[in-house]
Structure 1
Amino acid sequence: MEPMELRRAVEAGRATASELGLQVDDVIVIHNSDRVALRLVPCDVLARVAPSGHLADSEFEVEVEVARRLADVGAPVAELDPRVEPRVHLRDSFAVSLWTYYEPVESEIAPTDYAHVFLRHHAALRQIDLTAPHFTDRVAVALSVVNDGEHSPELSDPDREFLSDTLGRLNAAIGIDKDGDQLLHGEPHPGNLLNTRRGPLFVDLATCCRGPVEFDLAHAPEEVGEHYAGADPGLIHRCRALNWAMFSAWRWRRNDQMPDRGHWRVEGLNQVRAALDRCGPG
Structure 2
Amino acid sequence: MEQRELRRAVEAGRATARELGLRVDDVVVVHNSDRVALRLVPCDVLARVAPVEHLADSEFEVEVARRLADVDAPVAGLEPRVEPRVYVRDAFAISLWTYYEPAEQVIAPADYADLFLRHHAALRRIALDAPHAGDRVAVALKEVDDRERSPELADADRDLLSGTLGGLGAVLNTARASDQLLHGEPHPGNVLRTREGLLFVDLATCCRGPIEFDLAHAPEEVGKYYAGADHSLIDRCRALNWAMFSAWRWRRHDQMPDRDHWRVEGLRRVRAALESRPER
Task: Calculate the TM-score normalised by the size of structure 2.
Answer: 0.98
The answer to whether the Cα contact below 8 Å between 2:175 and 2:210 also exists between their aligned partners in 1 is no
Q: Does 1:281 align with 2:257?
A: no
Partner of 1:25: 25
User: Would the aligned equivalents of 1:240 and 1:275 in 2 still touch at CA under 8 Å?
Assistant: yes
TM-aligned CA deviation for residue 272 of structure 1: 0.5
Aligned to 1:51: 51
1:56-77 CA distances to partner (integer Å, 9 max, x unpaired)?
1001100000000000010000
Give the stretch that moved more between structures: 165-174 or 115-124: 165-174
Aligned to 2:265: 267
Unaligned runs of 5+ in 1: none
The alpha carbon displacement at 1:279 in A equals: 1.0
- Taking only the aligned residue pairs, the percentage that are identical comes to 74
In structure 2, how many angstroms separate the alpha carbons of the residues matched to 1:219 and 1:142?
17
Q: Deviations over 1:217-241 (max 9, x none)?
A: 0001111111111111111111000
Aligned to 1:203: 201
Question: Who is 2:2 aligned against?
Answer: 2
Higher deviation after alignment, 124-133 or 162-171: 162-171
| Unpaired segments ≥5 residues, structure 2 | none
User: Which residue in the other structure is 1:242 paired with?
Assistant: 240
Question: How far apart, in 2, do the equivalents of 1:46 and 1:52 lie?
Answer: 18
User: What CA distance in whole angstroms lies between the structure 2 residues aligned with 1:6 and 1:96?
Assistant: 13
How many Å apart are 1:266 and its aligned residue?
1.2
Q: Does the residue aligned with 2:76 lie in a helix, a strand or coil?
A: coil
**Matched-pair contact (CA < 8 Å) for 1:174–1:238:** no
What stretches of structure 1 move > 2 A for 4+ residues in a row? none
Establish whether residue 186 from structure 1 lines up as the match of residue 211 from structure 2.
no
| CA drift at 1:245 | 0.6
Task: From 46, 54, 76, give the equivalent of 1:78.
Answer: 76
For the aligned residue pairs, the C-alpha RMSD in angstroms reads 1.0
Of 142, 166, 169, which residue of structure 2 is paired with 1:168?
A: 166
Partner SS state of residue 255, structure 2: coil
* Aligned residue number for residue 39 of structure 1: 39
Q: Which moved more, 1:59-68 or 1:152-161?
A: 152-161
Residue 163 of structure 1 deviates from its aligned partner by 1.2
Q: CA deviation at 1:89?
A: 0.5
**AA in 2 matched with 1:104:** P
3-state SS, counterpart of residue 25 of structure 2: strand
Give the aligned residue type for 2:127.
Answer: D
Q: Is the 8 A contact 1:23 1:43 kept in 2?
A: yes
User: SS of the residue aligned with 1:259?
Assistant: coil
Aligned residues of 2:180 and 2:208 also touching (Cα < 8 A)? yes
Aligned twin of 2:152 = 154
Is contact 1:142–1:250 with CA below 8 Å preserved after alignment? yes
Q: Deviations over 1:77-111 (max 9, x none)?
A: 00001110000001111111000000011212111
Task: For residue 47 of structure 1, give the secondary structure of its aligned residue in structure 2.
Answer: strand
Q: Distance between the aligned counterparts of 1:131 and 1:256, measured in 2?
A: 27
Between the aligned partners of 1:106 and 1:8, the Cα distance in structure 2 is 32
1:235-274 residue CA offsets vs partner (Å, 9 max, x unmatched):
1111000000111111111111112222111111110010
Q: Is the 8 A contact 2:144 2:247 kept in 1?
A: yes
Distance 2:79 2:164 in 1: 42
State the TM-score, normalizing by the size of structure 1.
Answer: 0.97
CA contact (8 A) 1:174 1:235 kept: no
Deviation at 1:211, TM superposition (A): 0.6
What is the CA distance between 1:280 and its match in structure 2? 2.6
Structure 1 counterpart of 2:200, one-letter code: F
In the aligned structure 2, how far is the partner of 1:152 from the partner of 1:50? 22
| Pairs aligned (count) | 280
CA apart distance, 1:51: 1.7
